[in-house]
Amino acid sequence: MDITLDKESKLPIYIQIAEQIKKQIMMKELLPGMRLVPERKLADELSVNRSTILNAYEKLKQEGYISSKVGQGTVVLVGNQRESLRSEPCWNQLFSDKVKAFDSLLLKETMPLLDPRNVISFGLGIASHEEEPELPINELAAELEKNLPCKAITMAPIGGFLSLRVLLAKRMIKTGVVCSVNQVLILTGSQQGIDLAARIMIEPGDIVVVEAPSYFLALQSFRATGARIMEVPMDEDGMRMDHLEQLLKRYHPKLIYTMPNYQNPSSRCMSLERRKKLIELAHRHDIIILEDDAYGEFVYDHVPLPTLASLDDSGHVILLKTFSKTISPGLRLGYMVAHKKIIEMCCLVRQGEDVHPNSISQWLVEKYLETTDVDQFMIPVCSHYKKKRDLMYETLLKYAPAGMAFYKPKGGIYIWCQLPEHLSAMKLLERTLKHNVSFMPGNSFFLSKEGDSYIRLNFSYPTELEIKKGIRVLCEEVESIRRDNQVELKACDIVPMY
C-alpha cells in the first residue's frame, strides 16, 4: 500500500497508518470489498512492528471503515457512513479537452523504462555517463564552495542575467547570427522556448508545420495550445521543400518547427540549399520558423552548416539553443535568440510560467563560458561520440536481420532505425527489457501510428561495452520476433536507407 511514515512525528505511527488508509478509502483508491494487505506483510513493507499494524487496523474497524473475517482477511466495508464521505471532484469535467487529448504513452509507459539503472539504455538523449570526457561543471562547483556568490541564489531578471546574455550574444555573433543582448532570452531549458513560442503565437486551430518524424515534446507543446499540426516528410537532406510548398499553397501556417542539425529523432541534416529555400518560403509567406538547434555542436563528418537564424535578416527565425547536451540536462538551461518583439512577448508569458531562470545554473554556465573555449572543449567530446557512433553503426551492420534499415548520421547522438515489416517497436521493447536493454520506440515522434515501426537508439550515453552487448541483444530479439511472427519478408538488404 502507498503509505509514507514520518517516524519523527509526534503523531503515533499507528494513527499515521490508519489516517492514510482512511483517506485512501475516502478517495476511493481503496474500494469497498477490496482486501487490505495482510498485517504481517504491511509491517514488513513499512519496517514497523506487527502490533502497530494491528492497532491501526483495529482503529479503522472501530470507526467502521474495515472489517476482518476469517478466511477473507481484512476488507474495506461498503457504506461505511460514520463520517459523511465527501465525493471527489468530477474528474471527467475537470480537465481541459486539450490536455485530456495528451498522449500519456510516453509518461506512463516509456519513462520508467528509460531509467538507466541496471539497464543498457539506448533510450536517453543525454551525454555520456563515463568518466571521460569529464564534465566541465565539476571544476565550477569548487568555485561555488569558496564563496557561494549572492548572484548564484538571488532573484534574476526575467530574461536572465545580463552578463550571461552578453556572453551568449557574442557567441551568437561568432556563428554568424547578428544579434544584440536584448535579443537573447535565457530559458529553463530549450523546451521552455518551444512552449513559449507556441503560447505567444498559437490560437486554437492555428497551423503548425513539423517534420515527420519530429521531437515528441515539441508536438506536445503545440497540442497544448490547440494547434493543428501538419507533418512534412523528410529525406536524407531534411524536410522536403516540395511538400512544404504544396502545403503552403493550401494553408497558411503560423509556425514551422524544424531541427535542421541532426534532427531528433532522425539525425538528418538539412542541406544548405534547403535551408535557403526554407528561409525564402518563410519570407514569402510571412511564417515564423522555430529553429531548434539542440545538436549543432555534435558534428562528426563535415563542416557545420549555417543556422537558419544566420541566413535570416528579417526577424522570421526564432533560434533555440540548450546546455543540456553540451554541459548537463540537470541544469535546465537554454536560450532563445529572436527579434526583440518576440523576446519581449516571451518575457511577459515566462513571468507567469516560472518567473525567471534558475540563478545557480546561470551562474555555473556563465563561469563555464568565461573560462572555457567551447569550440575547443567540444573537439574531444565529438571525437569520443564519433567513435561510439561508428561502433553502434558497425555493430548494427553486423547483427541486424534482413529488413532492418538504418544509416550512419553525420552528427547528433542518435541512430534512427526502421524495423522489419509488421514488427512493433513497443512489442520489441517489452522483449528487450527482459534482457535489460531499453531504447525509445518511435511512436511518440509521429502523429500517425507509423512510428511503431521505428526505434531511436542513442549512442552518447551507453559505454562501448554496453553498445556492443545491447545492440546484439536488440538485433537478436528483432530476429526472434520476426521468426515468431513467421513474417514472410521480401528480399531486402540490410544496407542503409541511402
Q: Which three cell numbers stand for residue 423?
A: 514488427
Q: 3-class secondary structure for 195-216?
A: HHHHHHHCCCCCEEEEEECCCH
Residue 410 in contact with residue 300, Cβ under 8 Å?
yes
Nearest residue (CB) to a copy of itself, 71 versus 79: 79
Integer Cα distance of 370 and 179 in angstroms? 19
Nearest residue (CB) to a copy of itself, 195 versus 297: 195
Q: Does 26 bind a copy of itself (CB under 8 A)?
A: yes
DSSP state of 85: P
Binding residue for a copy of itself, selected from 113, 126, 374, 433, defined by CB under 8 A: 126
Q: Does 160 bind a copy of itself (CB under 8 A)?
A: no
Binding residue for a copy of itself, selected from 37, 113, 181, 281, defined by CB under 8 A: 181
Binding residue for a copy of itself, selected from 138, 376, 448, 486, defined by CB under 8 A: 138
Q: Does 179 bind a copy of itself (CB under 8 A)?
A: yes
Q: Which three cell numbers stand for residue 492?
A: 531486402
Residue 324 in contact with residue 264, Cβ under 8 Å?
no
Nearby residues of 397 by Cβ (< 8 Å), 6 or more positions away = 494
Integer Cα distance of 307 and 104 in angstroms? 33
Nearest residue (CB) to a copy of itself, 338 versus 405: 338
Binding mask 219-238 for a copy of itself (x = CB under 8 A): -xx-xx--------------
Q: Does 23 bind a copy of itself (CB under 8 A)?
A: yes
Q: Does 141 bind a copy of itself (CB under 8 A)?
A: yes
Binding residue for a copy of itself, selected from 30, 36, 164, 194, defined by CB under 8 A: 194
Q: Does 251 bind a copy of itself (CB under 8 A)?
A: no
Residues between 266 and 285 that touch a copy of itself (CB under 8 A): 283
Shortest Å, Cβ 155 to a copy of itself: 5
Q: Which three cell numbers stand for residue 356?
A: 525567471
Nearest residue (CB) to a copy of itself, 38 versus 204: 204
Shortest Å, Cβ 148 to a copy of itself: 4
Segment interacting with a copy of itself, rule: CB under 8 A, options 34-42, 44-52, 337-345, 420-428: 337-345
Burial of residue 55, with CB atoms counted within 10 A of its CB: 0-12 exposed, 13-18 middle, 19 or more buried: middle
Q: Does 375 bind a copy of itself (CB under 8 A)?
A: no
Nearest residue (CB) to a copy of itself, 289 versus 471: 289
Binding residue for a copy of itself, selected from 189, 403, 409, 470, defined by CB under 8 A: 189
Segment interacting with a copy of itself, rule: CB under 8 A, options 56-64, 178-186, 401-409, 425-433: 178-186
**C-alpha distance from residue 349 to each of 80, 96, 109, 186, 189 (Å):** 48, 20, 31, 13, 15
Strand partners, 187: 334
Long-range CB contacts for residues 395-402, cutoff 8 Å, separation at least 24: 395/467, 395/468, 395/471, 395/472, 396/471, 396/475, 397/494, 399/471, 399/472, 399/475, 399/476, 400/475, 400/478, 400/494, 401/475, 401/478, 401/479, 401/482, 401/494, 402/489, 402/491, 402/492, 402/493, 402/494
Binding mask 83-122 for a copy of itself (x = CB under 8 A): ---xxxxxx--xxxxxx--x-x-xx---x-----------
Q: Phi/psi of residue 239, each to 5°?
A: -55, 135
Shortest Å, Cβ 476 to a copy of itself: 29
